[in-house]
Amino acid sequence: MKSFKEEKCEIYLWGEEIKEPVPVIWCHIFSREEGEKIWQQITRPCVLAGVSGRDWNGDFSPWKAEKAFAKSTDFTGGAGEYLRYFEQELLPRAEQNLSFEVKDRGIVGYSMAGLFAVYAMYHSDKFNRIGTMSGSLWFDGWADYAMSHSMKAENPLIYISLGSREHKVRNVRMASVKVCTERLAAHWGEFCPVICESNPGGHFDDPEGRVARGISRLLAYGGKSPTECDVQPAKEIFKHIL
């Protein structure tokens, strides 16, 4: 594993010693330890590029919004600015350490990082594998925005997962996550293959395992056409989440 520091963050490359071209999966994480746990559970060849140290409520929120918890901070809507920095600075500097030209790239994330992953799908053409694991798709106005705008990603494959108890919370905004996830999965499924999975438990149960499973599923469908993917409607996957 190779690591290096950049402005306000640190980048980790797992699998950078691989010589032949493989997909490069970008994932925003909290720590190196979290990235290690994800890397150890991925079942398909890839390079995992982890980014830690960013401001999750600032860099990953598409626009300003009130904080979700009393002890947290407001969402400052910095996703657009950060995505430009990420694309133009972080991504090329990290990938120049690889021994092959990157032609297959994905971006995944958990919670707010999962929201940022699908935000990037609308504003960047650099990623064709998109994963939002227990993503904050409840974020104020995001579902309506996503359903009324076009994706910039070319021929994306999307992976969505949600915990069976994530919507059973007192916070009214976050409790809408199941409905928002179902709406978006159905909408995206009209344009590209969407893999939906339900995981047992709430939002904080096994985040590393959920991310690793999502990455593995995205990698497993590499090279398959949308008609070859065993993608099921979101309603069928999430129907037992009451």
- What would the pLDDT profile of 28-59 be if each residue is shown by its tens digit? 999 999 999 999 999 999 999 999 999 999 99
Which tokens is 84 given?
């430009």
d(CA 126, CA 120): 9
Give the pairing of strands 75-76 and 64-65.
Answer: antiparallel
Closest by Cα among 175, 180, 140, 190 to 160: 180
Q: Which helix (H) or strand (E) holds 41?
A: helix 32-41
**pLDDT value, residue 227:** 36
Burial category of 114 from C-beta neighbours within 10 Å (exposed 0-12, middle 13-18, buried 19 and up): buried
Predicted confidence (pLDDT) at residue 176 exceeds the cutoff of 70: yes
**pLDDT value, residue 84:** 97
Model pLDDT for residues 93-144, shown as the tens digit of each residue: 999 999 999 999 999 999 999 999 999 999 999 999 999 999 999 999 999 9
For the residues 55-67, what does the mean pLDDT come to? 96
Share of the chain above pLDDT 70, in %: 91
Q: Which helix (H) or strand (E) holds 129?
A: strand 129-133
pTM: predicted TM-score of the whole model, two decimal places = 0.91
